[in-house]
């Protein structure tokens, strides 16, 4: 996916550096998520060390790993003085690709895959293709368009998920998070240009 992204963003000499940065950030995320079981359940992990092979940190571990991975990418890109919009564009492609691939096993191995998962997979695939082949004027416009429609689509698709846990005003936690992010995107103008 990143090789395809690197070919599309050919006018930037820093795409190889950004691809390496994002790959390292993903590996860091994966390691922290896997071993966050030790942070979240220290007693169980110490009493049964083999549990580290079978268990991961779950959703909480994913959030911890996401924060650490995002911080790593941000700090390293600042240190290397990489173009902000290209780093975020690469991250968005990486995120959409990861979201797409992570939902496929649920679709293939669930007894009756829900319409919300099928719609989310198709929607993410369409937005990923759009991000990779669209000829919008700037990477910022592509990121903004895909991110906003990804969030809106997944908010709507979650209403068809009968297993979602209602949190506030018939919205799940994921829907509330996506609503907040969509609100930020609507009003955010992006970083100031030099």
Same domain for 113 and 78: no
Q: Residue 99: its pLDDT value, please?
A: 76
What is the three-state SS of 104-137? HHHHHHCCCCCHHHHHHHHHHHHHHHHHHHCCCC
Same domain for 60 and 19: yes
Q: Residue 193: its pLDDT value, please?
A: 47
Asked whether residue 3 carries a pLDDT value surpassing 70, the answer given is no
**5: in domain:** yes
Alpha helices in the chain (DSSP H): 2-8, 15-40, 42-47, 51-54, 58-79, 84-109, 115-133, 139-158, 173-187
Same domain for 70 and 19: yes
**1: in domain:** yes
Among the three residues 64, 82, 100, which one is the final residue of a domain in this structure? 82
* Mean model confidence pLDDT for the chain: 78
**96: in domain:** no
Pick left, alpha or beta for residue 190 (phi over 0 → left; psi -120 to 50 → alpha; otherwise beta): left
Asked whether residue 141 carries a pLDDT value surpassing 60, the answer given is yes
Contact predicate 5/132, CB 8 Å: yes
**CA-to-CA dists, residue 151 to 4, 73, 120, 179, 180, angstroms:** 24, 22, 10, 7, 10
Q: Give me the mean pLDDT over the 76-105 stretch.
A: 78
**93: in domain:** no
Same domain for 174 and 131: yes
> Which range of residues forms the domain containing residue 52?
1-82
Same domain for 194 and 116: yes
Q: Give me the mean pLDDT over the 8-20 stretch.
A: 66
Q: Residue 5: its pLDDT value, please?
A: 52
Distance CA 37, CA 193 (A): 42
**76: in domain:** yes
Q: Give me the mean pLDDT over the 30-59 stretch.
A: 81
Among 68-77, 91-100, 136-145, 166-175, which stretch is predicted with the lowest mean pLDDT?
136-145
The single-letter DSSP state of residue 150 is: H
> Would you place residue 20 in the very low, low, confident or very high pLDDT band (cuts 50, 70, 90)?
confident
**150: in domain:** yes
**88: in domain:** no
Distance CA 102, CA 121 (A): 9
Q: Residue 123: its pLDDT value, please?
A: 86
Same domain for 72 and 10: yes
Based on the structure, what is the number of domains in the chain?
Answer: 2
Same domain for 53 and 2: yes
Q: Residue 194: its pLDDT value, please?
A: 45
Same domain for 193 and 117: yes
**117: in domain:** yes
67-85 pLDDT, tens digit per residue, is: 888 888 888 888 888 877 7
**CA-to-CA dists, residue 175 to 57, 100, 183, angstroms:** 22, 18, 12
24-43 pLDDT, tens digit per residue, is: 888 888 888 888 888 888 88
Same domain for 156 and 120: yes
Among the three residues 38, 64, 82, which one is the final residue of a domain in this structure? 82
């Amino acid at each position: 996916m990143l090789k395809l992204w690197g070919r599309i963003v050919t006018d930037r000499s820093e795409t190889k550096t950004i691809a390496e940065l994002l790959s390292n950030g993903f590996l860091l995320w994966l390691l922290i998520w896997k071993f966050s079981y030790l942070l979240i359940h220290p007693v169980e992990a110490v009493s049964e060390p083999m549990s580290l092979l079978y268990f991961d940190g779950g959703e909480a571990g994913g959030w911890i790993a996401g924060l650490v991975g995002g911080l790593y990418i941000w700090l390293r890109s600042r240190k290397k003085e990489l173009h902000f919009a290209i780093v975020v564009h690469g991250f968005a492609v990486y995120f959409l690709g990861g979201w797409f691939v992570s939902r496929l096993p649920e679709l293939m191995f669930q007894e009756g895959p829900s319409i919300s998962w099928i719609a989310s997979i198709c929607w993410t695939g369409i937005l990923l293709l759009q991000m990779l082949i669209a000829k919008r004027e700037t990477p910022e416009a592509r990121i903004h368009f895909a991110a906003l429609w990804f969030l809106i689509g997944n908010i709507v698709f979650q209403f068809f998920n009968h297993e979602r846990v209602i949190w506030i005003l018939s919205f799940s936690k994921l829907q509330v998070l996506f609503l907040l992010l969509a609100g930020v995107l609507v009003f955010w103008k992006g970083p100031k240009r030099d």
